[in-house]
Structure 1
Amino acid sequence: MIKKILIGFCLFLSAVTWAQEGTSSPYSFYGIGDIKFKGTVENRSMGGVSVFNDSIHVNLQNPASFSHLKFTTFTVGANYNNVKLETESQSEKATRTTIDYLVVAMPISKKFGASLGLLPFSSVGYKIQNVNADPTQTSSRYFGEGGVNRLFGGLGYKFNDNFSIGADINYNFGNISTTAVDYIPEVQYGTRELNESRLNGVNYNFGMMYNRKVTEKLTVFGSLAYSPESNMNIDNERNITTVLVAANFNFVPQDEGITQLSTSKLKLPSKFVLGAGIGEVRKWAVGAELTMQQSSSFGNRFNDIDNVEYENSTKFSFGGYFIPKYNSFNKYLERVTYRAGFNYENTGLIINNKAINNYGITFGLGLPLGGSFSNINVGVEYGKRGTIYSGLVEENYTNIFISLSLNDRWFVKRKYE
């Protein structure tokens, strides 16, 4: 047990001190960047479905699930992203490897469960160059980095075996930096606009889960989760200066430039998630979820971005799992959990009057470790976001995700000293 705690502590420190570049998408320029967290590996492997409660896996999308835990669980998840970026005239490839979450969750009584964790909530990361064929005309370079991290704590309460509720509080914080450089190749100097934002704020998430046996084998599942609208505080700094432009996105400032300071608030939209499913516990289950977000109230860090609008977003997820025989003693593959799913999302982002949609299909495995309740979960997602039309970018991506879930009993009163 001590070794597990030390491993978790070291990984937690490494995540706090390691600044990740978690995306390569040009769409991360807008708002607070790409929303990175889409559930644990177990849930993502089922298309994002989180309607099922579990005694050994952490479900971070609905805090009511914490009350169903039977073991203290430490889990860490990571993601490898490979994406092909295409326009009407060219294409590029990019890869990223990131830590997705670090979480400790535990039962603290027969009715209560709690969770504490850290995860990268959103990410900004892109490099774009628009070179004019005429060296006497203006060319541009754009790049950005940073994002928003989330530190959260949650509590779940189980009224009985069928019904539970929960809530968590999230502290969001981070820094985002975006740069635009305009230059004429035949002119020695160009102009740089550097925008830096420091963000922080608090939001809440509430949930409830319900399950009931309808036959000797079949159980129905239902879940609700709601996040009310909240504000993020933003301290903005904009610096405009003359630069000497070099290769590989490098530049050397030639003067102090003009700095503008401002403070503002950015709304995080409210979100409502409704889920339902059916299955045989520890054997199989299928479920679906509908996520509705009031994204039309969302905005950008700066008010002078005029090619973007927001509309309310909708996401549909469907998926499930199958375990041939969870208590098999001599056939390992029968104890493996097989997962699959798909999702479709209208992201709510409209650029150049074109809605940005996203869809993906997922597959995954839950691999038991030895004779314990610990496990390794792996999954893969194939998807597409955006379009090559209207001067936009289409992203064809593959995500490979993996998590380690270590389970043990804590707070067990000894019968003998």
Structure 2
Amino acid sequence: MYKRLRVLIGLAILCIAHAAQAQNIGNTPYSRYGLGEYNYNLGNVRNAGMAGVGISAGNSYQANTANPALLYYNSITIFDMGLAGEVKSVKNASEKQTDSNASLYNLTLVVPVSKRWSAAVGLRPYSTVNYEARAATTLESNPRATIENRYTGEGGLSEIYFSHGVKIADGLTIGGSASYVFGAITKEAASLVRDDSLANISQERVVYSERTRYENFLFRAGANYRKKLNEQLFLSAGAVYGLEANFDAKRKASYERRTLSDNVIDENILPDSSTSSVSVPASLRAGITIDNGKNFTLAADLYTQQWSDFKGFDGRSDLANSYKIAVGGELTPDANSIDNYFKRITYRAGVYYGNSPYIVNGEQIKDKGVTAGFTMPLGRSTIYDMYQLNAALGYGNRGTTDNGLIAENYFQFSVGFTVNSRWFIKRRIE
């Protein structure tokens, strides 16, 4: 057991180096705004298969990180690691392109401290920036001259969190988490003038480049109440409140001269350094769940955040208030089936709809999609160890090509491994 667990932890540590740099998910034009593409799923691959729900949907054999109050139900040690990828089609009224990428999705270790208290430590992406946009205009004074502009951005923020869940009364649990958010975002704006009457003059790009590093702490508090309705059904209601956070920001900016192939001719022109802070507004997540305590769960979640109160590096906000409604469920036909492996698989599905925080040309961008997923038991489970393979798929749409906007059709996939292990039982026979 311990040898296998050490191998998994070693593999997870190797993933941290990549995750600390960025969580790229393909060309995402709307990540140009705010701190980028925000990670709405505070859970794992299990939650992704149910459209991200999980605020009140506890599970004994999966890490309950979506709501720290649910960690109480993790009574044995759990190690969970997931990877995610995306294939995205981005188009406007006249052009279309397809991008894809993959990265670390989550990394979690849950340890029961006592019969009433469990704790978790983990790593997940907080936001992602990855975009490239181009535009061309003609000079009114010279119709033969064209200005070509290119805007690019990459990077993102990561989140290391430490969470606790405690039972304080029958059916009532509370929890909290402290996260250290860190990372860097690089943005560039390049301009090039093309004039066919000056064909003998070498062409160069003028590039404005800025790199901003962010860091500080983020705190969340959660609660959940579970009540037995009858002999077969339970009702759970939970909520997670994320406190307002102020991230310290340090920016270095300069101009560069580059060739058309992006080779640097002259760099660090007019260098500038500045510091500021970025204010991220408070958030609220609430959920309700019906389950039978065995093999069936049906849940609904609501997320809302007042992004209009966001203050960027320059003190301004370019975001709007957002919300997301999601419904999802899971079913295991027969977890104890011996002659039919497919009955022991847990099947999941979900749908979601909401307003993203991005508002462009006076129109707020909507996001909607469907998901599916499953958990497959691996090997032979014992009272000491249980291994699971988790997977989730999702298809969604965001934005529109009307009013000069960009539409995104995306296919998301994620896969992960979960290890349930009893660390503190002394074996009589090895």
| 2:79 partner amino acid | F
8 A contact 2:22–2:157 mirrored in 1: no
The offset of 1:401, in angstroms, is 0.9
State which drifts further: 134-143 or 77-86. 134-143
Partner of 1:3: 3
* Offset from partner CA, 1:252-290 (integer Å, 9 cap, x none): 242531122221111111111111121212221211111
For the pair 1:210 / 2:225, whether they are aligned, the reply is yes
| 1:379 partner amino acid | A
1:122-201 equivalences in 2 (<5 Å)? 122-131=127-136, 136-186=145-195, 188-201=203-216
| 2:145 partner amino acid | T
Partner of 1:274: 286
SS at match of 2:146: coil
8 A contact 1:32–1:301 mirrored in 2: no
Unaligned runs of 5+ in 1: none
Partner of 2:356: 347
| 1:201 partner amino acid | N
The offset of 1:193, in angstroms, is 0.7
Partner of 2:254: 239
| 1:35 partner amino acid | Y
1:28-47 equivalences in 2 (<5 Å)? 28-36=31-39, 38=41, 39-47=43-51
Partner of 2:198: none
| 1:32 partner amino acid | L
The offset of 1:227, in angstroms, is 0.7
8 A contact 1:63–1:167 mirrored in 2: yes
| 2:7 partner amino acid | I
d(CA) in 1 for partners of 2:131, 2:318? 20
* Offset from partner CA, 1:374-413 (integer Å, 9 cap, x none): 2111110000112212322111000011111011101224
Runs (4+) of structure 1 exceeding 6 A deviation are none
d(CA) in 1 for partners of 2:84, 2:29? 19
* Offset from partner CA, 1:87-130 (integer Å, 9 cap, x none): 00110000011111111112111111010011221111122233
d(CA) in 1 for partners of 2:193, 2:74? 61
Report the RMSD for the aligned CA atoms in angstroms: 1.9
12, 22, 25: which one aligns with 2:24: 22
SS at match of 2:52: coil
d(CA) in 2 for partners of 1:272, 1:322? 28
SS at match of 1:136: strand
1:21–1:274 Cα change, 3 Å: closer
d(CA) in 2 for partners of 1:328, 1:110? 30
SS at match of 2:194: coil
The offset of 1:138, in angstroms, is 0.5
1:361-372 equivalences in 2 (<5 Å)? 361-372=370-381
d(CA) in 1 for partners of 2:402, 2:274? 35
d(CA) in 2 for partners of 1:82, 1:190? 31
| 2:63 partner amino acid | V
8 A contact 2:279–2:312 mirrored in 1: no
Partner of 1:228: 243
8 A contact 1:43–1:59 mirrored in 2: no
SS at match of 1:333: helix
8 A contact 2:373–2:391 mirrored in 1: yes
* Offset from partner CA, 1:207-266 (integer Å, 9 cap, x none): 11111111111111111111111110101122123x13324xx24242531122221111
64, 73, 81: which one aligns with 2:69: 64
8 A contact 2:215–2:247 mirrored in 1: yes
1:255–1:119 Cα change, 3 Å: closer
Partner of 1:79: 84
SS at match of 1:89: coil
| 2:24 partner amino acid | G
State which drifts further: 221-230 or 132-141. 132-141
8 A contact 2:33–2:319 mirrored in 1: no
Partner of 1:284: 296
d(CA) in 2 for partners of 1:380, 1:196? 34
d(CA) in 2 for partners of 1:127, 1:368? 41
| 2:236 partner amino acid | F
8 A contact 1:125–1:146 mirrored in 2: yes
SS at match of 1:57: coil
378, 383, 401: which one aligns with 2:396: 383
1:212–1:141 Cα change, 3 Å: same
For the pair 1:323 / 2:327, whether they are aligned, the reply is no
The offset of 1:70, in angstroms, is 2.2
SS at match of 2:403: coil
The offset of 1:161, in angstroms, is 4.9
| 1:267 partner amino acid | S
**TM-score computed with the length of structure 2 as normaliser:** 0.91
d(CA) in 2 for partners of 1:158, 1:312? 34
Unaligned runs of 5+ in 2: 196-200
State which drifts further: 194-203 or 275-284. 275-284
d(CA) in 1 for partners of 2:258, 2:353? 45
| 1:22 partner amino acid | N
SS at match of 2:59: coil
39, 48, 67: which one aligns with 2:52: 48
| 1:297 partner amino acid | D
Q: How many percent identity over aligned positions?
A: 29
8 A contact 1:37–1:122 mirrored in 2: no
1:255–1:216 Cα change, 3 Å: closer
Number of equivalenced pairs: 411
**TM-score computed with the length of structure 1 as normaliser:** 0.94
8 A contact 1:75–1:405 mirrored in 2: yes
SS at match of 2:402: coil
